[in-house]
Structure 1
């Protein structure tokens, strides 16, 4: 090629150049490119663990383009078609109008939503449907179908008594569908739900039902910031309490020199160890995952543990690990914190008796096994949880002598009073020693005849 000839770049390379130019413009305008709202794939290093894989794979319902190629998810298509028809009928919105609303809106699904989303959509649709003349037409229709069916699912999940008649689905499949909706790369843009609903009151009701299904009682207001997708909305609900408020309340002083980038499982001690050392535990009154510690009292949030708990936490952890989502790893840190508190079923029992854990699994052992499995999550220690650990350590140091006695008493209690049979055995042994002492006494000091 002549050196003076201009290089004619292929289409794929020109697209990459355009992406870099757009990024450069955003940097010039001071836009935070790290936290662009994007639909993301789950990081590979999280899906490669065999025991976690089932929490990242949809079982019935495919949403968005990422799982289109999976034949096992075709069973969910009739449900989506039926629910979309139900939604169109009871909202009295012609499906053609909904399509035009998505297609014509300045949503720019192929760029602003995510370049990763665009590339993956092109790849998956090419595999399943062959080459399409207009990818945007297909994506618009896909989002209408997914969005309408999702809104119908959430709106009708309020009344579980008639759910089989309302949604034409059995309870066992409905449970799996709600788990599918939690998966990070099985999301659709929240803005699509807003466009399709076109009614803020109905939308907030749907979102409230969505949170209620997963045991979350308080919903954030949509006016406080648009979520990216449903999983992001659930995360906002768990972080309802403003972190700045908490920092002001407990007056956190961060030692910058102690901050570390090393990934770790920071240990605080099991709940029984803390209680044996004189620390009291109770459920806090505010609705967020942030724990607090003051004057020997550790306050923890109420946590419902059921079959969807692992789906919620592991997908939220995957979301916080996404490279384009700037966050403080709040959910990941909370999971590490709880995994430190729970080691054995007895730890779960103490938290359950304190009203902190609502166990909807078969046994306390299942809960302990669940948190022990999720204990493999590694995150840098965040300031809030480092501060709580330091507070507990300071509490130990200030009451070291008393703590030794309390620890001994706690160990003695766990050893000798953990069940009625151990209490009976201890009383029998004590009575035996007393009788032996009396017999020996009279043998040495016989009474005068």
Structure 2
């Protein structure tokens, strides 16, 4: 046995994880002595290999901080079918679309709105501007640094932009609810304001909410903030909790921007009774147990197929996106879904959830994907509208159906968030006896007239049978 085999190793021998720098190559290459072959790696290749360690140790997004205001993730931004939902139609807010030539006229509109706000709030404009200018360093940190590269040497332009845009937002929203005759002097058509309100919920059109807080912190600012509160509430069809209570939970300085507040409002749950909470904890225990096993995603049919399986659709009592349930009795089923408006803001909420520094459970995305399972054609959209579940803010039912069908390949929902309901629907539909009974009911009793005709036929048959019976017995 050689000395190497005995464990001592020959003098000058190098173990397999050591590197030898060849001095004849001016350190351009590193020779690695491997068990079966010698492979020469350049210094650049070694640096690339070492970069794996750096990537492992760092580069993780900071989820503890507030999500930054940034562009829509490229997955959606570069999709031609979704582009139009992310671009402002009338007004640019913040730096991301400030230099968009197609929105050049919005500068004059914002100045008019800002001027009326300054006059109405009752504070001199120099004090208002100075109050906001003091916190510019913190306001700049609300944006992705790449989006502010053009303003790195021009703090004044950015501060003026924040000031005018913030005043314009407050005045525009106040005009929706205020009763002052002075608003008529602006001569802004209602249709133009409608587009302005839509633009305020675009991801790339967000302004730090701290700007609005600073501008309304004194004078008559409370009436403007009350209008903002109503503006958020009105974007939700059936808010789960009282507006005043919910707004008090949103701490000053922690509110990120309008789109974030809209998402929070959609996720507010109504207080549940004790028996419901007990049921929730039991179900969550089963879900946690299921997570340790291989996950299987249950498929469900579209609206037309669910109706054939005896499942009726009904709007939930609240618009909380987790307020979803399925109940069934024999071959009848009832699926309750939270009502939601599908418009530009909905698509931007999905984009917001996809931002790399926003740690969330993808509730909006998951709910839209759930609706996608139900929608294959315009008729499905109509049925959801008739049930009070889907409010179409995009146009025709055909356009909404096409949008949902295209979403399927670009969105990844949470696999667990609606898994319980999907499993219940799947089990209901796959039961052969329930399926046949439901299809028979759907085929022959889809209208009350068909049911009345059936009852009439049964009654006539029964009377005929009784008449025959008594006729035979009377003869005896």
Indicate whether the TM-score tops 0.5.
yes
By how many angstroms is 1:284 displaced? 1.4
CA radius of gyration, larger in: 2
Query: Aligned match of 2:335 in 298, 315, 328?
Result: 298
Q: Say which structure is richer in helix.
A: 1
By how many angstroms is 1:332 displaced? 0.3
Give the aligned partner of residue 410 of structure 1. 442
Is 1:392 aligned to residue 425 of structure 2? yes
Query: Aligned match of 2:69 in 39, 43, 47?
Result: 39
Q: Which runs of 5+ in 1 are unaligned?
A: 1-19, 127-131, 424-449
Give the aligned partner of residue 83 of structure 2. 53
Alignment partners' CA distance in 1, 2:192 and 2:409:
30
By how many angstroms is 1:413 displaced? 6.5
Give the aligned partner of residue 8 of structure 1. none
Give the aligned partner of residue 303 of structure 2. 271
Alignment partners' CA distance in 1, 2:358 and 2:277:
22
Is 1:119 aligned to residue 146 of structure 2? yes
Task: State the TM-score, normalizing by the size of structure 1.
Answer: 0.73
Compute the RMSD of aligned alpha carbons. Answer: 3.7
Give the aligned partner of residue 466 of structure 2. none
Matches within 5 A, 1:204-283: 204-211=225-232, 214=235, 216-218=237-239, 219=243, 220-225=246-251, 226-241=254-269, 249-250=279-280, 251-252=283-284, 253-254=286-287, 255-257=290-292, 267-283=299-315
Alignment partners' CA distance in 1, 2:402 and 2:148:
38
Matches within 5 A, 1:28-427: 33=63, 35-105=65-135, 108-110=138-140, 112-114=141-143, 116=144, 118-123=145-150, 125=151, 132=153, 135-158=154-177, 165=184, 167-198=186-217, 201-211=222-232, 214=235, 216-218=237-239, 219=243, 220-225=246-251, 226-241=254-269, 249-250=279-280, 251-252=283-284, 253-254=286-287, 255-257=290-292, 267-296=299-328, 297-304=334-341, 309-359=342-392, 364-396=397-429, 399-411=431-443
Query: CA 1:106–1:136 in structure 2 vs 1: closer, same or farther (change >3 Å)?
Result: closer
- Count how many residue pairs are aligned between Structure 1 and Structure 2: 377
Q: Any conservation in 1 of the 2:314–2:336 contact (CA below 8 Å)?
A: yes
Alignment partners' CA distance in 2, 1:100 and 1:175:
31
By how many angstroms is 1:232 displaced? 0.4
* CA distances 1:51-73 after superposition (whole Å, capped 9, x unpaired): 21111111221111111221111
Query: CA 1:49–1:382 in structure 2 vs 1: closer, same or farther (change >3 Å)?
Result: same
* SS in structure 1 at match of 2:177: coil
Q: Any conservation in 1 of the 2:76–2:410 contact (CA below 8 Å)?
A: no
Query: CA 1:211–1:344 in structure 2 vs 1: closer, same or farther (change >3 Å)?
Result: same
Query: CA 1:248–1:348 in structure 2 vs 1: closer, same or farther (change >3 Å)?
Result: farther
Alignment partners' CA distance in 1, 2:308 and 2:235:
33
By how many angstroms is 1:326 displaced? 0.1
Query: CA 1:389–1:121 in structure 2 vs 1: closer, same or farther (change >3 Å)?
Result: same
Q: Any conservation in 2 of the 1:267–1:337 contact (CA below 8 Å)?
A: no
Q: Which runs of 5+ in 2 are unaligned?
A: 1-53, 329-333, 451-476
